[in-house]
Amino acid sequence: MRQELEDKEALKTKVKNILKEIKTEKKQSINTTDSDSKSMRTRQGPGAGYNAQLTVDEKYGLIVNSDVVSDNHDYHQFSEQVNQANEVLSRPCKTACADAGYADTNVLAIADEQGVKVIVPSQRQASKKEHGKFNKSQFKYDSQDDVYICPEGQVLKFYGINEKRKMRYYAAGATCQNCKHFGRCTKNKRDGRKILRLFKEELREKLEKLYDLPSSQKIYALRKQKVELPFGHIKRNLGANHFLLRGFDGVKAEMSLLSGCFNIVRMINIIGVCGLVEKLAV
């Protein structure tokens, strides 16, 4: 009976500490087995896990830097991963390429300001949707008056700011109800058609133009060959479909070991076993 009461008290204390941590750190949930892990959506379904990041070089496809984060997306990772790779190489990166999952303009701005040539498609470029008559691209921005002009000549005035999303809003108002395209362009009777503009909209337009250049397309075409190969090797050949260790220190160390194994195999494929032994002996 005494042991049972002690177990209940221990469980009650554990639950109180979990609730306190959720409230203090403003979390929605906590994994009591591995508190550093986060809920992830994977091909196998939702579950607790980590997000592995790899940075590879363009020429040989060797892993320059590996990292593990708890974000269940790559959106905010671009500049951080580039900076980590710069530290490993002890020199700045000239060109950095990633897929649209990294297309947070505010994060890409950090790399751009450092002089890095950023080749990352925006979400709208990756979707490859055709631009219809009522697409944002058909609305002209007047920087002098800070307004948008719709295809029918109506003015969308400044409406408000969303600091969290770092966006400005523009709206045409009730005048849209008198437009022949009302119901197709917008169905909002009070605010009319709305347009969202990033604080760094000019940078997004600049990066979109840079991505569309033929020279950039050649570099982007190499991305799948270079950066997807290590993930395939680690998952298929090494059978590492999940981390064996827990906590950031453990999973980062595990990812480093897996990356090292890939690099050894890659170097053997490039210069052979004798060549690798010779290089390591220097």
pLDDT in the model for residue 22:
65
Looking at every residue in the chain, the average pLDDT score rounds to: 89
pLDDT in the model for residue 280:
83
Radius of gyration of the chain (CA): 25
Q: Where are the domains of the chain?
A: 2-30, 53-124+205-241+257-281, 136-192
Give CA separation, 205 vs 99, 199, 201, in Å: 17, 12, 6
Amino acid identity of 127?
A: S
Average confidence (pLDDT) over 15-25: 69
pLDDT at residue 214 above 70?
yes
- Which helix (H) or strand (E) segment holds residue 68: the answer is strand 63-69
pLDDT in the model for residue 27:
67
Give CA separation, 143 vs 146, 149, 158, 209, in Å: 5, 11, 11, 19
> Among the listed ranges 62-71, 93-102, 176-185, 238-247, which one has the minimum average pLDDT value?
238-247
pLDDT at residue 281 above 90?
no
Phi then psi for residue 175, to 5 deg, are: -60, -20
Q: Among residues 167, 142, 136, which one has the least CA distance to residue 155?
A: 142
The SS3 of residue 211 is helix
pLDDT tier, 282 (very low <50, low <70, confident <90, very high otherwise): confident
Q: Report pLDDT digits (tens) over 38-94.
A: 888 777 777 888 999 999 999 999 999 999 998 889 999 999 999 999 999 999 999
